[in-house]
Each structure stands twice: as structure tokens, then as C-alpha cells.
Amino acid sequence: MQTLTVGLSERSYPIHIGSSLLTQAELLSKAIPRKRVAIVSNTTVAPLYLEKLKNTLQSIGVSSVEIILPDGEQYKNSDTMNLIYEALLTHRCERTTPLIALGGGVIGDMTGFAAASYLRGVPFIQIPTTLLSQVDSSVGGKTGINHPLGKNMIGAFYQPQLVLADTDTLNTLPDNELAAGLAEVIKYGLIRDLPFLEWLEQNMDKLLARDTVALQYAITRSCQNKAEVVAADEREIGERALLNLGHTFGHAIESGMGYGVWLHGEGVAAGTIMAADLSQRLGWISAEDVTRIRTLFERAKLPTVAPDLGVEKYLNWMGLDKKVEGGKMRFVLLKKIGKAVVYGDVPPVLLQQTIEACTRG
């Protein structure tokens, strides 16, 4: 097992990464003040891992309230949040009852938001079970839900007390969901870790074959990158925005197509190609760099051409991005491979060219 720390002074917390962690009660016990927790999961993950988690908790005398939600990005909304609140109230969960998120990023984001808001804040534990949630969403405290007018628009920064990434859970993950997680892994290499990007180029086949050593390394290195960024800029005043490479375009794809039609990681992959294309049009990176990036995403079995929503729709959705400042769109772009910046002065004609060049009907 590897343990990293997200350094946020009194709110610092560990990320444990390894095999069989779901059975290790001692990792959980410190974060559970009384002998009761509420586990939030969904109809896909609960049949796979809920019993195991409950047994581990029972071994240290902890009982569980179970809250099983419908599965899917299309349920990451206020109606589903209400189901969580209702269950917590019905079972009289108290301020000392931690919420445990058992699932992917959708469950993690909603459970975190419920923990931030129920009784004005209760403890929160992340047990991420997708590659994407193990390398990204479970770390850093961004929680929330979608709104019909925009992705992840309602939420709170609220840090967990503990992240437990049991790599065994990835054995049951469908191939397209594994690939979606790789999009966020590649992101760290592109924005700030060139040696990791080179490692990914050398080890992509092992990752796709679910080689346990390679996966554990990729998760740990990703979490190291994320923990460093979050510790430096928890509330995204500056550097943390770089973690959104490909997301301005990607969120437009997800919202424009209807939540759940494109996976988040798929939108990030096609969106990153758009960001790379725009960076090239600005003269920052070369055509060879863009090809290098596209090749890596293709090897990860991710889409590199975005859907043709039309330029106007892209601009409308991107105008709702959380990075918009004073009505001006800001993009995460590549100065070079391994170094991203936030840039607010993209000439509209270049943006239009990128949308036209990178989309297909």
C-alpha cells in the first residue's frame, strides 16, 4: 500500500492506494467517531462491494445505513440529492455520522456535497471504485451536482477525511470506463509532469491490460500531482485551474449531448485535443506535438474527435464555464507538452477554427 497526504494544515488527510484495502478496518476506524456510518452507493457498485465494506465495518462494531442511488451521470442532480437527504433524516443520522462514498465520481461528488450540506457539515470518506475517481475526483474536495444549464454548477469545496483507493475494484470496471480514467491520468502529464507523460507513452499497453503494478504506479503518480496542486491552491484561485485542461470543451460536449451520453473522460479526451489544436493555432506547440497527444489518447482507446454541436452551441455552453471572468472565456492551453497555462485572450476566429477542425457530425 502507498499512502500520500493532501497537505491542508488541520484539514490534511491521507490517500491510501493498494490492493484489498476494503477489508482493512484499521484504515477506516480513525475517521469514524461513533459506531455508525451512512454508505452512499449505486445500483451497479453496491452489489459488487457493499457487502464487503459492511463486513469490514461490522468487524470493528460499526453499523451502516445504506443509501443506494440510481446509476448514471443523468442522476447527478438535485432530485437525487434529495433522496440522500431524505434517507439521512429518516435514519436520524447525526453530525458525527460520516458519509462514505462507495462508487465512481458521480457518487463521490454527490456524497461529498451531501456531507458538506447535511446538518451544515458531517465527516466524509471517499472510497473511489473507478480509475477516474481514484486518480482525480476523490481527491481535492470538489463536490457537487449538475444543473440542466451547466455541468457541476452547484456544489461546494469540502474535503474528505480519508481516501481509500482499493485497486482490486478496478477488476470489474468496464473497458470504456477504464479508458475514461486514463484521460485524467494523461492530463497530469500534459499539464505539469513530462516524465510521467513519457512513462505513459511507454506503458499504455500495460495499463490497458490492467497490469496491477502499472496501474498502482499511475494512480499514485496522478494523486501525487493532484495533491500538490490542491495543497497549493485548494479553492482554484490560480494553479488548480490547470487541472481543467480539456474540460471547457469537454463539459460543453457532455452538456450539449445530454448528461451520460459521453462519459466525462471521453469529453475530456476530445476536449484536450481541441485545447491542443487551439494551442497550436496560437503558435505555442507544433503540429507534431498535437499528433503526439492525439496518438496517446488513441492508444488509450479514447475519442479524439468531438461531436459537431455547431460553433454557436459550443460557444454558448463554454460561456457557462466556471473559469469565465468578467464575461470573458478563459482556457487551459499548452505552452508546451508538460506545461499548461490559463489564457483569456484567445482570438474568436481561432476558437471558431478549432471547433470546426476538431468536430464531426
Angstrom distance (rounded) from CA 342 to CA 68: 39
The nearest distance, CB 184 to ligand NAD, in angstroms, is 6
The nearest distance, CB 329 to ligand NAD, in angstroms, is 19
8 A C-beta contact, residue 341 and residue 335: yes
Q: Which residue's Cβ lies closest to ligand NAD? A: 105
> What DSSP string describes 43-74?
TTTHHHHHHHHHHHHHTTT-EEEEEEEPPSGG
8 A C-beta contact, residue 332 and residue 268: no
Retrieve residue 206's grid coordinates.
Answer: 500495460
The nearest distance, CB 226 to ligand GLY, in angstroms, is 7
Which of 42, 146, 152, 236 is the catalytic position? 236
- Using the rule CB under 6 A, give the single segment among 15-23, 45-53, 135-143, 211-219 that binds ligand GLY: 135-143
16 is catalytic: no
8 A C-beta contact, residue 337 and residue 289: yes
**CB under 5 to 8 A by kind: which of ligand NAD, ligand GLY, none does 246 bind?**
none
- Tell me the backbone φ, ψ of residue 6, rounded to 5 degrees: -90, 110
8 A C-beta contact, residue 67 and residue 54: no
Verify binding: residue 266, ligand NAD, rule CB under 6 A.
no
Verify binding: residue 255, ligand NAD, rule CB under 6 A.
no
Distance of CA 248 to the CA centre of its chain: 14
By CB under 6 A, name the binding residues for ligand GLY.
Answer: 136, 140, 142, 240, 243-244
Catalytic residues: 120, 142, 184, 226, 236, 240, 244, 247, 251, 264
By CB under 6 A, name the binding residues for ligand NAD.
Answer: 42, 44-45, 48, 71, 73, 76, 103-107, 109, 129-130, 132-133, 136-137, 140, 142, 152, 169, 172-173, 177, 180, 264-265
